[in-house]
Amino acid sequence: MKKLENVKPRVYKFGAKTADGNSKMKNLLGGKGANLAEMSALGIPVPPGFTITTEVCTEYNALGEKAVIELIKQEVEQSVLNLESLLGSGFGDKDNPLLVSVRSGARVSMPGMMDTVLNLGINDEVVQGLAKKTNNEQFAWDSYRRFIQMYGGVVLGMKPETKEDIDPFEEIMDTLKAERGITLDTDFTVQDLKDLVQDFKVAVKTQTGHDFPTNPWDQLWGAIIAVFNSWNTDRAVYYRNMNGFPAEWGTAVNVQAMVYGNMGNNSGTGVCFTRDSGTGENVFNGEYLINAQGEDVVAGTRTPQQITKLGSVRWAELAKVDEEERAKNYPSLEELMPSVFKELNTYQEILEKHYRDMQDLEFTIQDGKLWILQTRSGKRTGAAMVKIAIDLVKEGIITEKEALLSVEPNKLQELLHPIFDPKAIRNAKVIAHGLPASPGAASGQIVFFADEASKYNNSILVRIETSPEDLEGMNLAKGILTARGGMTSHAAVVARGMGKCCVSGAGALRIDYKKRKLIVDNKEYHEGDWISLNGSTGDIYEGEVATMEAKLSGEFAELMTLVDKYAVMKVRANADNPADAKTARDFGAQGIGLTRTEHMFFEADRIKAMREMILSDTEEGRKKALEKLLPMQRTDFEEVLEVMEGLSVTIRLLDPPFHEFVPHQLVTQKALAKQMGISLDDVKNKVADLEEFNPMLGHRGCRLGNTYPEITEMQTRAIIEAALNLKAKGVICKPEIMIPLIGTVKEFDMQNDIIRTTANKIFEERKDSIAYSVGTMIEIPRATLVADLIAEKADFFSFGTNDLTQMTFGYSRDDAGKFLPIYIEKGILEHDPFEILDQEGVGQLVKIGTERGRSVKPNLEVGICGEHGGEPSSVEFCYKTGMNYVSCSPYRVPIARLVSAQASIKDTL
Ligand code: PEP
Ligand code: MG
């Protein structure tokens, strides 16, 4: 044997309370492998095994199968020898066989993405030995048939590819069940299982052209390579792309001695959480099944039972099962196996304390002995995330800074999820109950197939159970409903991760995929029919039920108090009306960074006056129309400024091109002609005149104010008079007048002059004055380059990164949708730059603009009001650039506040 000294290991062993690796080695050993090593070293009973590193996956992708097996052969063989000596059994030994599981494990958890093979190492001879060793022929043959089925699907590619395809193994089993008049897998006799193994092998030969591999070593290499391949399956790639995980990370392979939960009624398997993953409540909970193996709990084919008595009673209440039946047919593990439960409870406490976070554990009980198969940070809802973070601080387990960093900004959105309108729900008809798998309320039209989720704007994906192939559709649907599966089923786990409303395990549903219908209590619901789900209670309603916004929890408020303690960069909101301003203030906005005044012009009376102004050929005509608009604008501003009392409010002057305001339909054109007393042709000609080839680069922004100064005059008057009126009422407000689309200093000067002259005139008229400032949007590349010149005159800068992105890339904001998805798919762009700020390019201009502006005015106030102001990575960038604030839509204010705090904390680490 060649010496291995001085060569970086590619295989790491664990088990028997020792390990080569530890939990810090996630990048190399994957999350699962690193945690198995850590747990083993902690003295937790982990079945022994070894991990082939993620780097080997990358080597496999580069070198191919043969070369990579050559690289790791010696280490893998030595590790198997080690397992054999630890367990006193032999891999392929027909008297005392060692069977192993082979699982994937990337550095981050990718639920259901990667494949697993259990019971590997079994063949016609080994199965006899296994039967003798366990004194359980049923178990041995059941393990064998499961192995061929899994190996056939995962390694030999016999999984059905489309929903129309039939799973050959399921078909064989269904045929036998029908012949034998049985319904459950557990009803098979030993002879049935032997027949199934035979038939499965024939199916393998027919479909693949090869015999099923009987040599355990061939089986093992096949499975290892299959795990590597599963890193590059379509669904894994989709999940990776969705989460921004690079291809180079690769997956590790974990080979571990098998322990059996299906050895009879003294065995079982389960999944548990150290706290409630839905609410964050500090209660140990989970599900298990007696006489079952690994995937059975999450597959949703049998209804799992609860681990704790408390959970069991709660479950029975929701499932409408009475106490007598619950205790008899669905006892908790706590009641059924008290000593195993006690041991499990001890380990969950140790593991949560050790990892200082809520854990998600998998365990197996083999003939009364407990084995922990896995621990990882548990996936949780947004509400649970916040509650757990706050509780862990209170319990002294983590620091405030750690708590803030543990909160995923975008997940806060889940706390802001809609609930049903209480009035609408009163009359809604409940048609069935399921498990409250992922909170929120959703209403939509039924679709039965994931790839049809985009058929309706609001769709509810209804499935017997979901699988990883359904991921994309689940993401597109408003809600997910499954007939089978518990709280740890694929649908539940994935939906919770996505923050999507989900009801699972609604056993009363009969789903007919072929006829595309759902039958509940003899009533049929077809594709396209509306249903509604409450993911927090598990209730399913007939028809469309109106939803409304959520109320925030006490822990959310506590989190936001912590945020304020650490955040330096401020967060303002983009709000155009008093209602939005109120929402923003309730969410903790520290001012308004952008009021788009044009949004106020679309309401009935205003649009008439606006059109009259646009269609006027003379200054006099325009002024007449503007006079009608003045009082309306003044009231609008007064209301917004009042809501934001004491805080800065940035009001932007008119920005969009005129053609956006004029009517394009004949009826409205006729009505306008009548209203203005001009001919229809005049209206038509004017509308045609306003058409531009590139309206986004056309007559808009300050170009309007500089060509029609009377518009700037009217808007300034409305703002200043509103502020004066409020001052008279004792309301202090701080208006900031913002000029859009500045490219040259002269453009700014002209507008600034009009604003200041108008304001002074009003102060004279009213014999009173207020403080106000005049600044500019920085949204044209040229403006960033001459920012020093502009800053000499401007009181503040606000980066309009929507336009800045448009003009830096040369992508039309209105038309980029035609090619951007393809660009992202092909990897030409990593993200949509209108969603996530392009730090490499546009970001440079933002930096240049800020630096040049502050080079002449060191205390220049700088902010951002483009859509990026609420996107976490962009907000962090703004902090690093030294901005005073970001401004975003009201609902993203809490997210931006959190990111602001996180950025400050990261700065101190
Ligand atoms: C911007 O361009 O980033 C901006 C905030 O202005 P608007 O989206 O109104 O053009
Ligand atoms: Mg703009």
Torsion sign over Cα 88, 93, 96, 97: positive
Q: Whole-angstrom Cα distance, residue 120 to residue 99?
A: 5
Q: Which ligand is nearest to the CA of 869?
A: 1
**Closest by CA position to 364, among listed 377, 349, 374:** 374
Residue 97 has pLDDT above 90, yes or no: yes
User: For a substitution probing ligand 1, which of 865, 887, 888 has the most ligand atoms within 8 Å of its CB?
Assistant: 865
Q: Whose CA is nearest to atom 4 of ligand 1?
A: 800
Name the active-site residue from 417, 433, 490, 659: 490
Over residues 660-699, the pLDDT tens digits come to 888 887 888 898 899 888 999 999 999 999 998 888 899 9
Q: Which ligand is nearest to the CA of 799?
A: 1
Residue 771 lies inside a defined structural domain of this protein: yes
762 in the same domain as 701: yes
**Cα–Cα distances in angstroms (integers) from residue 200 to residues 49, 203, 219, 223, in the given order:** 29, 5, 16, 18
Residue 523 lies inside a defined structural domain of this protein: yes
Q: Whole-angstrom Cα distance, residue 46 to residue 43?
A: 8
User: For a substitution probing ligand 1, which of 572, 600, 742, 777 has the most ligand atoms within 8 Å of its CB?
Assistant: 777
H helix intervals, 332-406? 333-336, 338-355, 382-394, 400-406
Q: Whole-angstrom Cα distance, residue 213 to residue 201?
A: 10
Please give the mean pLDDT across all residues of the chain: 91
Range with lowest mean pLDDT among 85-94, 153-162, 760-769, 867-876:
153-162
User: Distance, CA 802 to ligand 1 centroid (Å)?
Assistant: 5
User: Distance, CA 575 to ligand 2 centroid (Å)?
Assistant: 15
User: Distance, CA 610 to ligand 1 centroid (Å)?
Assistant: 21
Question: Can you tell me which atom of ligand 1 is nearest the CA of 865?
Answer: 5
User: Distance, CA 777 to ligand 2 centroid (Å)?
Assistant: 8
pLDDT class of 532 with cuts at 50, 70, 90: very high
- Is 490 in the active site? yes
Q: Whole-angstrom Cα distance, residue 180 to residue 188?
A: 9
Q: What domain range is 887 assigned to?
A: 567-657+692-908
User: For a substitution probing ligand 1, which of 594, 599, 779, 885 has the most ligand atoms within 8 Å of its CB?
Assistant: 779
Over residues 610-668, the pLDDT tens digits come to 999 999 889 999 999 999 999 999 999 999 999 999 999 999 999 999 988 888 878 88
pLDDT class of 817 with cuts at 50, 70, 90: confident
Q: Whose CA is nearest to atom 8 of ligand 1?
A: 802
Question: Can you tell me which atom of ligand 1 is nearest the CA of 806?
Answer: 2
Instruction: Give the sheet arrangement for strand 49-52, strand by strand.
Output: 18-19, 11-15, 49-52, 251-257, 100-106, 116-120
Q: What is the CA radius of gyration of the chain?
A: 33
Q: How crowded is residue 721: how many other Cβ atoms within 10 Å of its Cβ?
A: 21
Residue 162, pLDDT score: 67
766 in the same domain as 704: yes
User: Distance, CA 779 to ligand 2 centroid (Å)?
Assistant: 6
788 in the same domain as 855: yes
448 in the same domain as 426: yes
- CATH number of the structural domain spanning residue 96: 3.30.1490.20
What is the average pLDDT across 301-330?
89
Residue written as tokens 């005159």? 793
Q: Which ligand is nearest to the CA of 886?
A: 1
Residue written as tokens 């507008």? 751
Question: Of the residues 516, 548, 580, which one is the last residue of a structural domain?
Answer: 548
736 in the same domain as 866: yes
Q: Whole-angstrom Cα distance, residue 473 to residue 490?
A: 14
Q: Whole-angstrom Cα distance, residue 30 to residue 10?
A: 13
User: Distance, CA 801 to ligand 1 centroid (Å)?
Assistant: 7
Beta bridge partners of 504: 435
How far does Cα 610 stand from its chain's mean position? 42
User: Distance, CA 412 to ligand 1 centroid (Å)?
Assistant: 25
Q: Which ligand is nearest to the CA of 652?
A: 1
pLDDT class of 429 with cuts at 50, 70, 90: very high
User: Distance, CA 653 to ligand 1 centroid (Å)?
Assistant: 12
12: left (phi over 0), alpha (psi -120 to 50) or beta: beta
Question: Can you tell me which atom of ligand 1 is nearest the CA of 594?
Answer: 5
Q: Whose CA is nearest to atom 6 of ligand 1?
A: 800
What is the average pLDDT across 17-29?
93
544 in the same domain as 577: no
Angle CA(125)–CA(127)–CA(128) in degrees, nearest 5?
70
Contact present, 346 and 257 (Cβ < 8 Å):
no
Q: Whose CA is nearest to atom 1 of ligand 1?
A: 800
Question: Can you tell me which atom of ligand 1 is nearest the CA of 574?
Answer: 5
Residue 2 has pLDDT above 80, yes or no: no
Task: Quote the pTM value.
Answer: 0.77
Residue 70 has pLDDT above 70, yes or no: yes
The tokens for 97 are 């066989």
How far does Cα 669 stand from its chain's mean position? 45
300 in the same domain as 237: no
User: Distance, CA 247 to ligand 2 centroid (Å)?
Assistant: 36
296 in the same domain as 227: no
pLDDT class of 1 with cuts at 50, 70, 90: very low
Over residues 356-402, the pLDDT tens digits come to 999 999 999 988 999 998 888 898 888 899 999 999 999 999 999 99
Residue 353 has pLDDT above 90, yes or no: yes
Range with lowest mean pLDDT among 183-187, 340-344, 509-513:
183-187
What is the average pLDDT across 81-90?
92
What is the average pLDDT across 750-757?
98
Residue 603, pLDDT score: 66
Residue 890, pLDDT score: 84
Q: Whole-angstrom Cα distance, residue 555 to residue 567?
A: 18
- CATH number of the structural domain spanning residue 623: 3.20.20.60
How far does Cα 888 stand from its chain's mean position? 19
Q: How crowded is residue 815: how many other Cβ atoms within 10 Å of its Cβ?
A: 10
Residue 3, pLDDT score: 46
Could you tell me what percent of the chain has a pLDDT over 70? 95
Torsion sign over Cα 583, 587, 593, 594: negative
717 in the same domain as 579: yes
- CATH number of the structural domain spanning residue 421: 3.50.30.10
Residue 169 lies inside a defined structural domain of this protein: yes
- Is 733 in the active site? no
Name the active-site residue from 865, 868, 878, 888: 865
442 in the same domain as 356: no
Q: Whole-angstrom Cα distance, residue 215 to residue 221?
A: 10
User: For a substitution probing ligand 1, which of 592, 596, 776, 799 has the most ligand atoms within 8 Å of its CB?
Assistant: 596
Q: Which ligand is nearest to the CA of 864?
A: 1
SS3 431: strand
Over residues 111-154, the pLDDT tens digits come to 555 568 989 999 999 999 999 877 889 989 999 999 999 999 98
Range with lowest mean pLDDT among 225-234, 663-672, 769-778:
663-672
User: Distance, CA 847 to ligand 1 centroid (Å)?
Assistant: 18
Who lines ligand 1 at CB under 6 A?
Answer: 594, 596, 655, 779, 800-803, 865-866
- CATH number of the structural domain spanning residue 305: 3.30.470.20
Q: How crowded is residue 554: how many other Cβ atoms within 10 Å of its Cβ?
A: 10
Residue 89 lies inside a defined structural domain of this protein: yes
Contact present, 33 and 226 (Cβ < 8 Å):
no
**Closest by CA position to 21, among listed 1, 66, 51, 55:** 51
What is the average pLDDT across 238-253?
88
What is the average pLDDT across 187-206?
96
Question: Can you tell me which atom of ligand 1 is nearest the CA of 801?
Answer: 3
Structurally, how many domains does the chain consist of? 4
8-state DSSP, 185: G
Residue 385 lies inside a defined structural domain of this protein: no
Contact present, 798 and 887 (Cβ < 8 Å):
yes
Question: Can you tell me which atom of ligand 1 is nearest the CA of 596?
Answer: 9
Residue 667 lies inside a defined structural domain of this protein: no
92: left (phi over 0), alpha (psi -120 to 50) or beta: left
**Cα–Cα distances in angstroms (integers) from residue 259 to residues 45, 393, 843, in the given order:** 11, 37, 54
Residue 75, pLDDT score: 97
What is the average pLDDT across 445-463?
94
231 in the same domain as 91: yes
Residue 600 has pLDDT above 90, yes or no: no
Contacts for 341-348 with beta carbons within 8 Å, 24 or more apart?
341/307, 341/308, 343/370, 344/272, 344/307, 344/370, 345/284, 347/44, 347/372, 348/272, 348/274, 348/284
Q: Whose CA is nearest to atom 10 of ligand 1?
A: 803
Q: Which ligand is nearest to the CA of 741?
A: 2
Question: Can you tell me which atom of ligand 1 is nearest the CA of 800?
Answer: 3
H helix intervals, 651-800? 666-676, 680-690, 702-707, 709-729, 745-766, 781-785, 787-791
**Closest by CA position to 381, among listed 434, 435, 420, 439:** 439
534 in the same domain as 592: no
**Segment of 4-18, 100-114, 752-766 carrying the highest mean pLDDT:** 752-766
Question: Can you tell me which atom of ligand 1 is nearest the CA of 799?
Answer: 3
What is the average pLDDT across 838-853?
98
User: For a substitution probing ligand 1, which of 802, 811, 864, 885 has the most ligand atoms within 8 Å of its CB?
Assistant: 802
8-state DSSP, 553: P
Range with lowest mean pLDDT among 54-68, 480-494, 632-646, 766-780:
480-494
User: Distance, CA 694 to ligand 1 centroid (Å)?
Assistant: 16
Residue 675 lies inside a defined structural domain of this protein: no
Q: Whole-angstrom Cα distance, residue 152 to residue 168?
A: 10
Query: Phi first, then psi: what are they for 373, rounded to 5°?
Result: -95, -30
Q: Which ligand is nearest to the CA of 599?
A: 1
**Closest by CA position to 755, among listed 606, 640, 654, 850:** 654
Residue 826 lies inside a defined structural domain of this protein: yes
User: Distance, CA 804 to ligand 1 centroid (Å)?
Assistant: 8
Q: Whose CA is nearest to atom 9 of ligand 1?
A: 596
The tokens for 99 are 């069977």
List Cβ neighbours of 789 (8 Å cut-off, separation of 6 or more).
745
Over residues 713-732, the pLDDT tens digits come to 999 999 999 999 999 999 99
Buried b (16+ CB within 10 A) or exposed e, 119-134: bbbbbeebbbbbbeeb
Over residues 541-597, the pLDDT tens digits come to 999 999 876 767 789 999 999 999 999 999 999 998 898 899 899 999 999 999 988
Question: Can you tell me which atom of ligand 1 is nearest the CA of 740?
Answer: 6
